Amino acid sequence: MKSLPETLKRLSLVFAAVLAVGTPSANATNADDDRELRTRDRQTYEVLVGDFYTGRSPYFKSADAPIEVAQAAPAPAAKAPAAPCSVINSGLVQMTETMPAEATLGEPFTYELKPIAVGCAANVVVTDTIPDGTTLVATEPQASVNGNQLVWNLGNLDSGESKVLKITVKPTKEGTLVSCATIKADPRVCAQTVVGRPVLAIAKTGPELAQLDSDVLYNIVVKNVGTALAKSVVITDKVPAGLGGPKEVPLPIGDLAPGASKTVPITLKATQRGKFCNVAVASSANTPSVTGEACTTVVKPGLKLAKTGPDTEYVNKKAGYKITASNTGDIPLDNVIITDTAPSQTSIVSAPGGQITGNNISWNLGTLQPGDKKTVDVVLTTRQPGKWCNVATVVSKQGLKESAQACTLWKGVSAVLLEVVDDPDPIQVGEETTYTIRITNQGNSDLININTVAQFQKEVTPETSSEGTVTAKTVKFPTIPTLGPKQSHTYTIKAKADQIGDHRLKVILTEDQLLSPVNEEESTRVY
């Protein structure tokens, strides 16, 4: 145990040392350096005092050793403080804070906080301290400001989700600026289910026009435009009276997933003229019903064709025909075309407005409004007798088609040559002579039903004939049904002279086409 005088002596030496080390260094040029030196001096003081009581001070030796006063060590040069914590890793959330390496006094700069959820977090709150020596300029997103505290309530963050928080400040003094932030979060566990709603939509399409007695095709499209399964979907087609069939047609569809659709065709029959709207209703076990309709006007289109011409005409002459197309229906008929085909035995003389190709002629009439009619003309001729029929057709863009024909009996000109010759001539009473009767068709038409009679006078009496029947002074020949052009037929009669005189044999010929009989006489001198 040291004596009191010795203790006081040692204490005075300690205070002297403290005063020596506590003097500010000439190198401490600013407040920070001064603070650092004062901290160092306080530590030195604590060491000296502590050592004083423990006897470990370098300024004190044992009683036997001489006392040496240590010289104060020179103050070290000022250095920057260590970097603050820049990463938080709490297991549930992480967060980094970054600042630019340097900033300029008076010029704003931005630093960032980036919280990242490692797991599912709830009630995430980030708090940041505005650095001393700065003023706040802006935050993004907007933070709540409480003094120098900035607070962001981020709510829930899913695992892996991150946010970027930006703070812009303006330095107001030189030195090192430090900002420290904290983050709090609660663990979060979640379960989820999707709540959907089925919604049906329906569309029905069909033709605007349909012909009476034709089939009418409609398409019904039902679709689930909702977010849940539509169960047991059924389409009911309500058929109007004018489209025939039952009043209602059920069409089961089944279940429809969200976004799924189904198209159902239905064919009806146009049974009445007029406008009819076909309504379809779609319903399901878990949705309201929806309706769609398509309206169709049922019309009766009508297209008629008539053709007129002469019933008879002579060959080598001209026969004119008229062809008339009529719209007898309810709707306009488009692209109406008439085509006339002349018989091969005839030739076309003229067809005003028509396009002639060989023995065919066509006329494009354009559009025929209901009730309209148009007429075209064609002129034919022929060299061949006979009954030739001229057929014409008309069609429209709507698919209507009609035909008509006109037949003409083309007659040839009949020309009969009747010749009667006696041999011998003259003859004596009691002698015989032979009369030859030749009938020749010199025309270009058949001779029909030729009937010939030979009449004798008192001077000569017929005895026999090759084909005729002799009755007293008359010889009647059988009917020739047909004698073609350039053909001929010959009869002979044997007769006997009865008395002197100038005998006249009269031959009379009739034929169906001749307006009057043909008479021929042959003179025979009897002496």
State what percent of residues in the chain have pLDDT above 70.
84
pLDDT-derived band at 463 (thresholds 50, 70, 90) equals very high
**By mean pLDDT, which of 103-117, 135-149, 242-256 is the weakest?**
242-256
CA distance 40 to 60: 21
The confidence score (pLDDT) of residue 518 equals 94
CA distance 499 to 485: 41
Per the structure block, which two tokens stand in for 150?
């900035």
Please tell me which residue, 311 or 75, carries the higher pLDDT value.
311
Chain center to CA of 176? 72
Judged against a pLDDT cut of 60, whether residue 70 lies above it is answered with: no
The confidence score (pLDDT) of residue 10 equals 52
The confidence score (pLDDT) of residue 141 equals 96
Q: Which single residue is written with the structure tokens 């007293």?
A: 472
Q: What is the mean pLDDT of residues 228-238?
A: 95
Q: What is the mean pLDDT of residues 339-364?
A: 95
**Topology classification of domain 200-298:** Immunoglobulin-like (2.60.40)
Q: What is the mean pLDDT of residues 61-90?
A: 48
Q: What is the mean pLDDT of residues 498-520?
A: 93
Judged against a pLDDT cut of 90, whether residue 199 lies above it is answered with: yes
The domain locations on the chain are 1-79, 87-187, 200-298, 303-411, 416-526
Q: 17: helix, coil or strand?
A: helix
Q: What is the mean pLDDT of residues 259-268?
A: 95
Judged against a pLDDT cut of 50, whether residue 222 lies above it is answered with: yes
The residues facing 139 across adjacent strands are 167
Q: Which single residue is written with the structure tokens 């900002």?
A: 179
Q: What is the mean pLDDT of residues 182-191?
A: 90
CATH of 87-187, one of 3.40.50.10490, 2.60.40.1170, 2.70.98.90, 2.40.400.10: 2.60.40.1170
Q: 29: helix, coil or strand?
A: coil
Per the structure block, which two tokens stand in for 105?
């006094």
Q: What is the mean pLDDT of residues 233-256?
A: 91
The CATH class of 303-411 is mainly beta
DSSP 330-362: SS-EEEEEEEEE--TTEEEEE-TTPEEETTEEE
Judged against a pLDDT cut of 90, whether residue 388 lies above it is answered with: yes
Q: Which single residue is written with the structure tokens 């704003």?
A: 108
Q: What is the mean pLDDT of residues 70-91?
A: 53
pTM over 0.75: no
State what percent of residues in the chain have pLDDT above 90.
70
Q: Which is the CATH superfamily of the domain at 416-526?
A: Immunoglobulins (2.60.40.10)
Q: Are the folds of 200-298 and 416-526 the same? A: yes
CA distance 296 to 278: 8
Pairing of strands 312-314, 401-411: parallel
CA distance 397 to 270: 20
Question: What does each C-alpha distance from 293 to 213, 234, 240 come to in angstroms?
Answer: 21, 16, 11
